[in-house]
Chains A and B, each alone.
Chain A
Amino acid sequence: DIQMTQSPSSLSASVGDRVTITCRASQSISSYLNWYQQKPGKAPKLLIYAASSLQSGVPSRFSGSGSGTDFTLTISSLQPEDFATYYCQQSYSTPPTFGPGTKVDIK
């Protein structure tokens, strides 16, 4: 299985901050990388697919980049509704695997 890691595991930020989350795959996954947002008690929500494509309806302050083994999710200006846990997930090979998550909370 391809192992996914994320850093940091948690971060505290303020509204308006620029936030960057990193995801690394244990082997090259080309651009087969998705990002999800999960709020407590809710299902994950797809934000970014294929490393950098914004899912329909997702605000443009979210962006993704990277290829190969290293990827980044950036929130350009953190909003109150963005406090949540973020997961990366590889779709390069079966089984698809998720990172351990990055919790973004209020400073």
Chain B
Amino acid sequence: QVQLQESGPGLVKPSQTLSLTCTVSGGSISSGSYYWSWIRQPAGKGLEWIGRIYTSGSTNYNPSLKSRVTISVDTSKNQFSLKLSSVTAADTAVYYCARDSLAGTYDYWGQGTLVTVSS
């Protein structure tokens, strides 16, 4: 059974860079034809796709965030990571990592981690 777990600071100061890591267990991140995605959800609001990475390193980002987002993968650690630069209060949200099994179908999710942007 594949499991995903997000980790990283829960509090980030405005203008700084948010950094999160997703650790995948129960299977190799390199096996199968999967993308690995980041999705966020502000409190009481809907879901926003941030971007995804293939194990080859190929990435796609949401145009609304593209200038600030970097997603990378470390296959040796079975992890992928998110960096979001120049954060503001609008970036406060629960951040989820997820497996993309069928070009945009998310079948496994992490439990989510709340990141608050505040000084």
Contact with B along A37-58 (1 / 0, CB 8 A): 0000011111001100001000
B54 located at the interface, meaning its Cβ lies under 8 Å from any Cβ of chain A in the complex: no
Closest CB in chain B relative to A98 CB, distance in Å = 4
**How long is the Cα–Cα vector from A99 to B63 in the complex, in angstroms?**
18
Interface centre among B60, B96, B105, B110 (most CB of A within 10 A): B105
A83 located at the interface, meaning its Cβ lies under 8 Å from any Cβ of chain B in the complex: no
Of A43, A46, A99, which is within 8 A of B110 by CB? Answer: A43
B62 located at the interface, meaning its Cβ lies under 8 Å from any Cβ of chain A in the complex: yes
CB-nearest residue of chain B relative to A91?
B104
Q: Are A101 and B105 in contact (CB under 8 A)?
A: no
Chain A residues touching B, range = 20 to 34
Contact with A along B105-119 (1 / 0, CB 8 A): 111011110000000
Q: For B90, what are the chain A residues with a Cβ–Cβ distance below 8 Å?
A: none
Q: Are B109 and A91 in contact (CB under 8 A)?
A: no
Interface residues in chain A, defined as those with a beta carbon under 8 Å from any beta carbon in chain B: 1, 32, 34, 36, 42-46, 49-50, 55, 87, 89-92, 94-101
6 contacts across the A-B interface (CB closer than 8 A):
A42-B111, A42-B112, A43-B98, A43-B112, A46-B107, A101-B46
Interface residues in chain B, defined as those with a beta carbon under 8 Å from any beta carbon in chain A: 46-49, 60, 62-64, 96, 98, 102-107, 109-112
